[in-house]
Amino acid sequence: MKLNRLHSGPNCIAGQGAAVWALCVIAGLALPQPLLAATKIHNELASPVTIIFLGTDPDSPTLTVPVTISFRTTGGQTNNNWRISLQAASGPNMMNCPSTIPVDRIQVSCVSAIADDGAAIANCAAPFNLSTGLQTISSGTEGAGNARPYETVINFTFQDSWRYIATDTSCSVNLNYQIIAD
């Protein structure tokens, strides 16, 4: 749906006669312009974007890597939504491992989702196994106004590490994060 606002056109200036002003207003109605500016995302930070697991002890029950994703919005509206999604960008298996270890052995858990605004809402998604397809890790509704901060903390846990050969070689996964605000 396209919303328009009343606009008096680029060539209409004060002091012109009423008939010219009316023509400018009518001509301005034909110029579609958004009524409200879209939400803009700023200061995106995801650290780290590559997760590394080093499994030297096969008796370790789990190996966990924490990640923090933060961003700010301007022009947000309280009835608009936001979400953070992620995926393994380096393929279906961990990289640099001496044996093949699928990325779906990594469980992704949202530890916390914070929207620093009284009207904004942030929710964690249920845990899931990492894949090469985008999956939502947190979402919510936007706060109104400018410079609204959001933060999501995620744990990437290598499950069943005891099933794989212990190695002093680091296994890694490159990640792709997507932040969308309506």
CA distances from 62 to 86, 97, 105, 148, 157 (A): 21, 17, 11, 35, 6
Q: What is the pLDDT of residue 154?
A: 97
Strand arrangement of the beta sheet that strand 63-74 belongs to:
40-47, 63-74, 148-158, 106-115, 128-129
Phi, psi of 173 (to 5 degrees): -140, 125
Q: What is the pLDDT of residue 112?
A: 96
Residue 160: strand, helix, or coil: coil
The C-alpha angle with vertex 38 and arms to 78 and 75, in degrees rounded to 5, equals 55
Q: What is the pLDDT of residue 38?
A: 80
What residue segments make up the domains of the chain, in order of their start?
A: 1-35, 40-181
Q: What is the pLDDT of residue 21?
A: 31
pLDDT tens, N- to C-terminus, the chain (182 residues):
222 222 233 333 344 443 333 333 333 334 444 455 688 898 999 988 999 887 666 666 678 899 999 999 888 888 789 999 999 999 999 999 888 889 999 999 999 999 876 778 899 999 999 999 999 999 998 887 777 789 999 999 987 666 776 667 788 999 999 999 88
Q: Are 110 and 154 in contact (CB under 8 A)?
A: yes
CA distances from 175 to 48, 157, 162 (A): 9, 14, 24
Q: What is the pLDDT of residue 146?
A: 77
Q: What is the pLDDT of residue 64?
A: 87
